[in-house]
Chains A and B, each alone.
Chain A
Amino acid sequence: MEKDTLTKAKKTKEKEVASLEAQVARLELEKSELEQKIENSRPDLTSEEARYMRDLSYIDKTGRVDSNKIVVKEINDHTNISLWDPLGKRVGPLHPVNVRHTYEKFYKLWSAGKRFRLSPTRPSAEDIEKFKKSDEYKAWKTRHDLDRARKSRTRKKGELERILTSIAQMTGKTVGEINDIRKPGEVVSPGAVNG
């Protein structure tokens, strides 16, 4: 008797579990269906947004509003032009009359070996490299380097060292002996034994 009751209760419970599981399955199916529906009903935002921006861009380009623009133009009755030295240095732009005077002046200076000859056309990188291999450039570079070395001395760099060297030579001592500034901990009083 009891065995039958237990079996009945067990079967009832199993039925209930099965029923609940079926309900869960149905709900899950319903959920996925609803999600799919939402996905299908939502528009393609990427292509719509792109079209929106494209249309606005076309409107901005085609339609013209000048109310926020004030046109300013420069007026000249002549065109200034430049001269170039063989290293690519620009002289100008100058008034054409001044360009002519400058060209003639630098031609005379070049003939006297004082400056580079100027040209109305800009040298290319290859022209500049080619010029740097020329004798004219090498001679100028030698003079230029000597000149800069002379002028750089006026910055007094190394002046102290030069003075110390000449004092050392005159006194027959080394630079270290006449220029031996010690740190505070190294100074010893007269008569003390050096460590």
Chain B
Amino acid sequence: MAATTTTTLTEAIPTMVTSALLELEERDVVRPLVTLDTKLLGGPGIVSNTPIIQKLTSEADDSLASQAVDSGTGVDTSPSAATAGVHGSYVQLKDIADLGSVDNMAAVSGQLIGQSIVTRRDLDLVTLFASFSTNQGAANVDITPGDFYDAYGSLRTYFAPLPYEAVFHPGNIWSTVGIISLFDNSSDAVQSAGLGTVGEDFARSGFAGMVLGFRLWADANITVSSNNASGAVFSRQAIKYTPKRYLQFDIERAETEVATNIVGTEIWGEAIMRDSHANEMQFNQQP
């Protein structure tokens, strides 16, 4: 009997393909932390204005001067206007790709579209951070506890209601010059006499839910430029997110391309509402 060669055996053994893994993306970190303005949903208009009215000053004598009910000035200008725009992605799924794949490529396409829209929304919100009036840091500067003290003081001075959120790029939290370095057990640490609660949390799990009065969040959608990134600390009313229409999928057959177009779109706007209720936190990520 002729011996079977290795080459022949290899050809007879198929390559098995498992379900595909999708590239991971950061998701919806900031949207749940800001004001949800639903005025545009289900009605006309694409611009949502939020008027801000200046406060009155109570006088201490018996001859009162009339004061105008006036729009806010300074950094909290009135109105805060968010203009809704269309955001979406479309996939052209060719029949041959769909028929030849192990996975359900229509479902994969839907997942890719959904992920891209969620990431776009988060990006639209985090890019507002660099447009706040007050920046506690600057380029090529390491974060210190004093930045948190000043930021907390700034928010409290302008009556920002709790809770206060702190959103940073992961490199501003976990790096040799990041927030975690403030709580390690070195002589420079905030708690140098021994690990306190926050230090213990960082030492044990590498994370702390609250830091110096702020709820801490990591968001990798924040852009890093030359080892610097602009996170922010803010109260809920600092930013408003204004949806006009939630996620909608449309499927259209493209016969001439022998393909199916899958289109996912969502319509929203975003704007700064109370600038004084937020501080930009621009810091270095590594020495």
Contacts and interface: CB of A to CB of B under 8 A. Distances in A.
Contacts of B192: 156
Contacts of A66: 94, 97
B146 A153 contact: yes
Contacts, number: 127
A6 to B, nearest CB: 66
Given A72-B116, A89-B139, A98 B270 contact: yes
Given A67-B94, A91-B130, A102-B131, A73 B270 contact: no
A90 B130 contact: yes
A69 B147 CA distance: 48
B138 A144 contact: yes
A160 B193 CA distance: 12
B28 interface: no
Interface string B168-196: 00000000000000100001111010000
Chain B contact surface mostly:
mixed
Given A91-B131, A105-B75, A105-B77, A75 B87 contact: yes
B97 A77 contact: no
Contacts of A70: 91-94, 97, 105, 109
Contacts of A94: 124, 127-128, 131
Interface in A135-163: 144, 148, 150-157, 160
Interface in B144-167: 144-147, 149-150
Contact-residue bracket for chain B = 35 or more
Contact of A95 (B124, B130, B187): B124
Given A66-B94, A71-B91, A74-B120, A154 B85 contact: no
B20 to A, nearest CB: 11
Given A67-B97, A94-B127, A97-B83, A154 B149 contact: yes
Nearest to B88: A75
A92 interface: yes
Contact of B89 (A75, A106, A151): A75
Contacts of A67: 94, 96-97, 100
Given A87-B139, A114-B133, A154-B144, A97 B81 contact: yes
Given A75-B265, A92-B130, A156-B188, A150 B146 contact: yes
Contacts of B130: 89-92
A129 to B, nearest CB: 15
Contacts of B75: 105, 109
B219 interface: no
Interface residues of A, number: 43
Nearest to A72: B91
Contacts of A68: 97
A64 interface: no
Contact of B146 (A69, A77, A151): A151
B45 to A, nearest CB: 14
A7 interface: no
B133 A109 contact: yes
Interface of B: 75, 77, 81-83, 85-94, 96-97, 100, 105, 109, 112-113, 116, 120, 124, 127-128, 130-131, 133, 135, 138-139, 141, 144-147, 149-150, 182, 187-190, 192, 223, 225, 263, 265, 269-272, 275, 282
14 contacts: A70-B97, A70-B105, A71-B92, A74-B116, A75-B87, A78-B86, A89-B282, A91-B131, A95-B270, A105-B275, A109-B75, A152-B144, A155-B145, A160-B187
